[in-house]
Structure 1
Amino acid sequence: MPDQRPTFLLVHGAWHQSSCWAPLQAALAENGWRSDTVDLPSSGDQSTPNAGMYDDAVAIDEALQRVEGPVVIVAHSYGGIPVTQAAVGHPEISHLVYLAAYMPAEGESMYDIHGLPIPEELSGTFPLIDNPRKSLYGDLPDDAARVALDQLVEQSVRSFAQPVNRAAWRAVPSTYILCEQDQAILPPLQETMSSHASSVVRIQSGHSPFLFEPDRLATLLGKVVGG
């Protein structure tokens, strides 16, 4: 019989690219799991400097079409927004994992979730988060943090401003992994968003456990999907 273990589709957050998942992909492979990634056009793609959340959702949809068999989507941070939009109507998706991720309801953008007004001008890029060494990689050693910081890219304003008009978590089982030491998306906000999820798992980690403890995260993901 063919292996019915799902493939993990890993969706990165803002200012990142798919290369950030390399340590977790190696750990998943060590545990016998397949994984794939997608590069979101709103992050660092100079050929589409004004790409928005809907463009990211299209890229996720295209990535899903490349994967054979059941799929578990793991969305990190901003990646939760286009995943919420894109993962509707794909019967092969067996589970959604929101990893310290935005988990919007219909009509919500990242600006809305933070209670901020939508800017009139949506072109251009959004400034990098304050103190990224602390907020994104606070629990990483200095050498690893420098490598991660060097790989950060620009992020479009439009991606943060466009709201989802559908919510995949209403139909697909979901787990929210709440990072209790996160300095980028603070735990109280994660708690609020995680109320949408089917289940919640709390870990002692900052914003980027895929870099901080990829082996432990890979083991946790296997448990989440019943492996």
Structure 2
Amino acid sequence: MTDGTRNLVLVHGAWHGPWCWELFVPELESRGWAVSAVDLPSTWGDPAAGMRDDARAVRDHLAAIDGPVTVLAHSYGGVPATEAAGPAVERIIYLAAHMLAEGESVITPLGGPWFPADADFAPGPDPEQALYPDVPDDWTRKAVGLLRPQSAKAFTEELTRASWRTIPSALVVCDDDLSLPGLFVDRAIAQGMADVVRHLPGGHSPFLSRPAELAELVGEVTAALPVVG
């Protein structure tokens, strides 16, 4: 990249939107990143929107950026990021995120589906504890109020490609995560899906609970990942 710009694209998880990065983006920008965020259609309230629509949104967003990109994907966002990441993506950081193989969907390792294909999912009966157990109270209240329905189709559409096979990738594990089932983390590590694995203390949403610490980790992880070519 000739001008020294470091592009970072953020892909949010289920029920969320670009609002979730509000505390995180300034920390990244202060460390020299040019940051932008994708808004995934599967959280817009349309049950017909699925993972492939989300992947298309990620792909279109990446195509509009001049120069190489690092992608940071949170939770479910790891799935469309895996589907969409192409040659311009230098690295993928999976933040408490699903790392899946070709032919898998979110519910494949869990033995599903067990719900109607046209369903919308609410974020569960206790999102405060599942998603934000260590987030300050004011932001927890704000975040819960901003959560949106999530289409079930996003969890059932299968990957056609697994870009972590060819793009250097890191997995950031949140040690007290109550949202991402541990089997996804365990098998990603056991199968060597990630080139680099790092741990953060705390729950599922460190972009709200410890944004400065997460931004520092992003810099450390990108430096640790191998360079292709």
TM-score (norm 1): 0.92
Query: What's the offset of the Cα at 1:5?
Result: 4.0
**SS of equivalent residue, structure 1 residue 177:** strand
CA–CA distance in structure 2, aligned partners of residues 57 and 191 of structure 1: 25
Aligned amino acid, residue 210 of structure 1: F
Other-structure match for 1:136: 131
CA–CA distance in structure 2, aligned partners of residues 25 and 78 of structure 1: 20
Aligned amino acid, residue 67 of structure 1: I
Alignment of 1:1-227 (within 5 A): 2-43=2-43, 45-46=44-45, 48-87=46-85, 90-117=86-113, 119=115, 121-194=116-189, 195-226=192-223
CA contact (8 A) 1:5 1:70 kept: no
- Aligned residues with identical type, % of pairs: 41
Aligned amino acid, residue 16 of structure 1: H
Query: What's the offset of the Cα at 1:2?
Result: 3.2
CA–CA distance in structure 2, aligned partners of residues 72 and 8 of structure 1: 5
CA contact (8 A) 1:97 1:174 kept: yes
CA–CA distance in structure 2, aligned partners of residues 171 and 189 of structure 1: 20
Uncovered stretches (5+) of structure 1, i.e. residues with no partner: none
Q: What are the superposed Cα offsets for residues 56-80 of structure 1, whole Å, 9 maximum, x if unpaired?
A: 0000000001111110000100001
CA contact (8 A) 1:8 1:71 kept: yes
TM-score (norm 2): 0.92
CA contact (8 A) 1:175 1:198 kept: yes
What RMSD in Å do the two structures reach over aligned CA positions?
1.6
Aligned residues: 222
CA contact (8 A) 1:109 1:164 kept: yes
After the TM superposition, which segments of 4 or more aligned residues of structure 1 sit over 6 Å from their partners? Answer: none
CA–CA distance in structure 1, aligned partners of residues 71 and 91 of structure 2: 7
Aligned amino acid, residue 212 of structure 1: S
CA contact (8 A) 1:42 1:53 kept: yes
